[in-house]
Every structure is written in C-alpha cells, then in structure tokens.
Amino acid sequence: MKRFTTMAKATNYVSRVPDENGIIDWSTEENQIWHELITRQLSCIEGTACDEYIAGLEKLNLPTDRIPQLEEVSEVLRSTTGWQCEPVPALIGFGEFFRLLSEKKFPVATFIRSREEFDYLQEPDIFHEIFGHCPLLTNSSFANYTEAYGKMGLNATKEQRVFLARLYWFTVEFGLLDTAEGLRVYGGGIISSPSETQYALHDQSVERKPLTKENVIDVLRTPYRIDIMQPIYYMLTKVSDLDTIREYEIEEIMEMVEQAKSLGLFEAKFPPKESKIAS
C-alpha cells in the first residue's frame, strides 16, 4: 500500500538528481530491485488490473531489466495526453503537488525503495509512480481528471486540501472498477502492491462502495490511514466515469468540501494510529 504523496512528514530517502541531459545513473543494485519489483507485479496484475491500465502499460513498454529514464516515459505521455514526468524530491508540499498536476506534470520521486522495505514503504518511490500511475496517464479520462484535480487544490486552504486528499486517495491511489468481467483495479496504490491487490479484490471484510457523481461528498467524509490495508474502497464501472466528476466546476467541488467539513467525517473503520512514545 502506498500513500498520498504529500502526507508524510519525514523520509530516509533522497531523490537522485538527473544530469544536464535528464539522465540518472542508476546503480546495478537499484536496477535489480526494479527488475524484481516489476516482474513480480506484472504477474500479480494479470486478470486484476483494468483494461485501460493494461492498454497504457503496453504503450509505455517499460523495461524490466532497468529503471526507465523519465524522458522515455514522458515521450509516450506527451504523444498521448500531453503529460510528462517531473523529477521531485522524496517529499513535496501540497502546493507544489497541486501546481504540478495542474500543469500536466506528474511528480516522480527519483529514488527506489531499499531491500529492507521491498514489500512496503510509505513514500511513493519511482516504481510506484511509474508502474502504478503512468500507464493510466495515457488514458484521456484519467489524465484530464488528474489535471482537474490539481486545479481544484491550487487555491484551496490547508484544511480544504486535507479533504481533497481523500478524493485523490479513493480514486487515483485506491480506486476499483466494478466491471462486467468482475472487480478490476485502477488505483496506483493497489496496482503497485501485490498484497493490497489480493486484499482489495478478494477479502470478505472489505467494504466496496459505488462512486457516483452524486456521492462525492461521502468520499470527502471517509477517513483513511496510509499504513494499513484499506477497509473501504470506492468503485467506478470504467475509468471514463471519472469524466462525470471532472464535469463539476471547481467552485462546486469546493462547496462540497465545505459541506463535508460541516457534516464531519464518518466513523473510522480502523483504530487510531498509535503514536510513538520516546523511552
């Protein structure tokens, strides 16, 4: 499971800085970690990732033996939806995150996880960003929704952005599709995690709720934790259903945010995270 990019406060990872030609000289070990991650996950998403994601993955044609250079991915994104990858530090603020999305630049932290955190890390590394999200950025509905989301948050207050984060979380990161062929995954936080993929699709304790244009406020009121399997997922029927949410004017979305603030959050389906007490 991965987190919404701007929620964590500290990280042990440091992003690699591209050279003057935009190239990062990844080490043999870093390339090997990518190889092991992508080959494992390619097997895991067979019959579980949505058709729109698979189509995007085929367009990107990601290498399995090395970490791709960002320009390789950007070249495909620009030719399909006008997006590109933007190298960023391991953590960025809300303001920068929204600005980049509004400019059709997808922030990619240029580091890859360590072997100690091979199965789970809170920070979104380059594998999560490239493999989890970039294939769907070749899809016009997903790309346009992500751009519109960035514009939603540009002038929002700090408190409003916290509510908006839930909309991103339950769509871009942890969204499901309820298709005629069965449940499929489109959220990058699920697609890049083998354990969350199996849990989201098959665990009997999970609540899976339809996401419609009419219940966006419910999404804004749904609590989540970044460090657990999600107890609730929201489902579209196809990725193009995101167009119906994007049709809202920014002012309308912000009115919903204010309504959600007034109504308050739903009761959490999970215990509060225990704070660490220094000994």
Torsion (CA) 131, 135, 141, 145 in degrees, nearest 10: 30
- The length of the chain in residues reads 279
Count of CB atoms situated within 10 Å of the CB of 259: 14
DSSP of 18-50:
P-TTS-----HHHHHHHHHHHHHHHHHTTTTB-
Query: What is the structure's pLDDT at 4?
Result: 42
Which two structure tokens, joined as six digits, stand for 152?
């939603």
pTM for the full predicted model: 0.93
Contact, 230 vs 170, CB < 8 A? no
Alpha carbon of residue 91 to chain centroid:
14
Q: Name residue, tokens 């029927």.
A: 237
Q: How far apart are CA 101 and CA 85, in angstroms?
A: 10
Half-sphere CA count of 116, side-chain side, radius 13 A: 2
Q: How far apart are CA 65 and CA 37, in angstroms?
A: 10
Residues of the chain with pLDDT > 90, as a percent, come to 89
Count of CB atoms situated within 10 Å of the CB of 69: 17
Count of CB atoms situated within 10 Å of the CB of 258: 14
Which two structure tokens, joined as six digits, stand for 138?
């070749």
Judge residue 45's burial from the number of C-beta atoms within 10 Å of its C-beta, 0-12 exposed, 13-18 middle, 19 or more buried: buried
Q: How far apart are CA 44 and CA 57, in angstroms?
A: 14
Q: 172-218, pLDDT tens digit by residue?
A: 999 999 999 999 999 999 999 999 999 999 999 999 999 999 999 99
Q: Name the β-bridge partners of 107.
A: 86
- pLDDT band, residue 275 (cuts 50/70/90): low
- pLDDT band, residue 278 (cuts 50/70/90): very low
Q: How far apart are CA 18 and CA 12, in angstroms?
A: 19
In the predicted model, is pLDDT for residue 3 greater than 80? no
Q: What integer is the mean pLDDT of 137-142?
A: 98
Under the phi-then-psi rule, with left for phi > 0, alpha for psi from -120 to 50, and beta for the rest, what region is 83? Answer: beta
